[in-house]
Amino acid sequence: MTNPLILIADDDVHICQLLSLYLRKEGYEIRVTYRGDDALDAFREAHPALVILDVMMPGLDGWEVLHQIRAESQTPVIMLTAKSETQDKVHGFELGADDYLAKPFDPQELVARIKAMLRRSTWQGNVAETLEFPDLILDHVAYRVVQRDKVWELPPKEMELLWFLASHKNQVFTRDQLLQKIWGFEYYGDTRTVDVHVKRLREKLLTQGEAWQIKTVWGVGYKFEVEE
């Protein structure tokens, strides 16, 4: 079995060398690009297990690269940026990023996030795992949602959030609890991350069935409400 391939796209040579060193020590295969257009070409050619993507790059910026990746694939993407403003994080999550790190960052923290993300995005077992509700089927193996005649192939974090809520139907979870359950205890993001992912799910599941909904419990958090 070959080791997972990670694509690093950043125009900072030092960062690329540092990340390559850390990740190779963990057994990952590495491919490095320094331009956005080259990153997109490498993604299509190499089919990496995960992408580390800088925002500011020549050729194409990271936002456009992410947009095009998401049009073709649900491969996990971690964004790197010199900016730490909340709006930049929200923009990245709205485009489909799975995680976000502001520079400067601790390489060991990034490695930990990569490991956790690859563990969660790889479902073990040969038996299909599904949840079924009226007009809605969640397929955890394929990371796919079937709603009536519409099929959605969801990014890992969106699927994990929806699956977790639906697996605990009618239970209310705070944003902090969802951050811990879905992003892991090592995640240092803020609760707006949860709101953005819920918003994306609601935008996709536009015709929510009368028997179920992703409901906001004001002042607390969210629940997957199902009529009994």
Tell me what the mean pLDDT of segment 113-125 comes to.
Answer: 67
Per-residue model confidence (pLDDT) at position 86: 63
* Tokens read off for 52: 């580390």
* Interatomic CA distance for residues 206 and 194, integer angstroms: 18
Q: Is 137 helix (H, G, I), strand (E, B) or coil?
A: strand
Q: Using CA atoms, how far apart are residues 25 and 70, in angstroms rounded to an integer?
A: 29
Q: Is the pLDDT of residue 88 over 90?
A: no
pLDDT in tens, 206-219: 655 568 889 999 88
Note whether 59 and 118 are within 8 A (CB).
no
Q: Which helix (H) or strand (E) holds 101?
A: strand 99-102
Place of tokens 């991350």: 193
Q: How far is residue 102's CA from residue 80's CA, in Å, rounded to a whole number?
A: 6
What is the pLDDT, as a whole number, of residue 93? Answer: 79
pLDDT for 192 equals 80
**Using CA atoms, how far apart are residues 93 and 147, in angstroms rounded to an integer?**
23
Task: Count how many Cα atoms sit within 13 Å of the Cα of residue 3 in the half-sphere of its side chain.
Answer: 12
> Which pLDDT score is estimated for 123?
46
- Average pLDDT on 154-176 reads 88
Q: Average the pLDDT over 169-189 and give the result.
A: 78
The pTM of the whole model exceeds 0.75:
no
CA distance 121 to 124: 10
22 pLDDT above the threshold of 70: yes
Whole-number mean pLDDT of the chain? 83
| Domains identified in the chain and CATH numbers | 5-121 (3.40.50.2300), 130-226 (1.10.10.10)
Contact 193, 179 (CB under 8 A): yes
Instruction: Note the pLDDT of residue 40.
Output: 93
Does the pLDDT of residue 155 top 50, yes or no? yes
pLDDT: is 79 or 94 the higher one? 79
Other CB atoms within 10 A of residue 83 CB: 11
Q: Which tens digits make up the pLDDT trace of 27-59?
A: 999 999 999 999 999 999 999 999 999 988 999
Q: How far apart are CA 190 and CA 217, in angstroms?
A: 18
What is the pairing mode between strands 50-54 and 77-81? parallel
Residue 204's alpha-carbon distances to 27, 98, 137, 145, 211, in angstroms, are 37, 17, 14, 10, 17
Residue 65: the pLDDT is 94
Task: Tell me the mean pLDDT in the region 166-178.
Answer: 89
Going by pLDDT thresholds of 50, 70 and 90, the confidence category of residue 96 is confident
Of residues 215, 208, 196, 212, the one with CA closest to residue 93:
196
Q: Greater confidence, 126 or 154?
A: 154
- Contact present, 214 and 138 (Cβ < 8 Å): no
Mean pLDDT over 179-193 rounds to 70
